[in-house]
């Protein structure tokens, strides 16, 4: 992790609010300002975060391979408007119960078959696991890489203390017709390299 502290200026630009969507909506619902978020180039994401974030794969299998454990989710908050389902979650390793991702997702339930939709609404398996289990053809395309100052909510979700920079991405999952299956902001806790 960089020695830079969250209060120091950075050469990266402040992220456009859309780059923090749908996470920014959950902050708005709480009437709490979003913490500082900077948009950075993929090549500027430090290791091991670059290996975990800068790719066009789903995060769940990427994290499972990195940690060597399967993952489930802990729900923080949810809301639904007809077939549009939003949830704020922490991804947690099944055995060690270590939190490995904090984030928010917007899912278009209408684009999923009924069994996959049922599993999404059970709020236990990450979407990446469900996509794999039900062989949902899709693409994963990161649209932004983010450097985010941790706040009380993120620290609580990830078991952290003190303000620090975290790395993440905004990702879009699309079906073969280029319809948006999901929009996601994925934020990782501090990570030790597994080399």
Domain containing residue 49: CATH number: 3.40.1410.10
Q: What is the pTM of this model?
A: 0.88
In a domain, 132, yes or no: yes
Query: Which among 29, 94, 18 has a CA at the least distance from the CA of 60?
Result: 94
In a domain, 40, yes or no: yes
Number of domains in the chain: 1
In a domain, 101, yes or no: yes
pLDDT at residue number 192: 75
Per-residue pLDDT in tens (0 to 9) along the chain, 195 residues: 333 333 332 334 566 778 899 999 999 999 999 999 999 999 999 999 999 999 999 999 999 999 999 999 999 999 999 999 999 999 999 999 999 999 999 999 999 999 999 999 999 999 999 999 999 999 999 999 999 999 999 999 999 999 999 999 999 999 999 999 999 999 999 987 665
What residues does 186 pair with on adjacent strands? 103, 169
pLDDT at residue number 8: 32
The Cβ of residue 134 has, within 10 Å, a number of other Cβ atoms equal to: 13
- C-alpha span between 60 and 126 (Å, rounded): 7
In a domain, 81, yes or no: yes
pLDDT at residue number 13: 59
State which residues form the domain around 107.
13-188
In a domain, 44, yes or no: yes
In a domain, 4, yes or no: no
In a domain, 172, yes or no: yes
pLDDT tens per residue, range 128-168: 999 999 999 999 999 999 999 999 999 999 999 999 999 99
pLDDT at residue number 11: 36
Indicate the DSSP class of residue 118.
Answer: H
CA distances from 49 to 46, 81, 84, 122 (A): 6, 34, 30, 30
In a domain, 8, yes or no: no
């Amino acid at each position: 992790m960089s020695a830079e502290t969250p209060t120091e200026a950075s050469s990266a630009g402040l992220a456009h609010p859309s780059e923090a969507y749908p996470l920014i909506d959950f902050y708005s619902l709480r009437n709490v300002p979003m913490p500082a978020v900077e948009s950075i180039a993929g090549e500027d994401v430090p290791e091991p975060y670059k290996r975990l974030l800068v790719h066009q794969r789903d995060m769940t299998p990427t994290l499972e391979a990195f940690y060597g454990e399967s993952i489930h989710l802990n729900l923080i908050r949810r809301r639904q408007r007809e077939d549009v389902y939003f949830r704020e979650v922490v991804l947690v390793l099944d055995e060690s119960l270590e939190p490995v991702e904090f984030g928010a997702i917007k899912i278009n339930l209408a684009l999923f078959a009924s069994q996959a939709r049922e599993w999404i609404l059970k709020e236990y398996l990450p979407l990446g696991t469900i996509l794999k289990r039900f062989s949902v053809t899709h693409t994963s395309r990161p649209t932004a890489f983010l450097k985010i100052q941790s706040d009380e909510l993120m620290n609580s979700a990830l078991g952290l203390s003190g303000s620090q920079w975290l790395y993440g991405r905004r990702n879009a999952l699309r079906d073969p017709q280029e319809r948006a299956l999901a929009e996601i902001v994925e934020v990782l806790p501090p990570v030790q390299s597994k080399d």
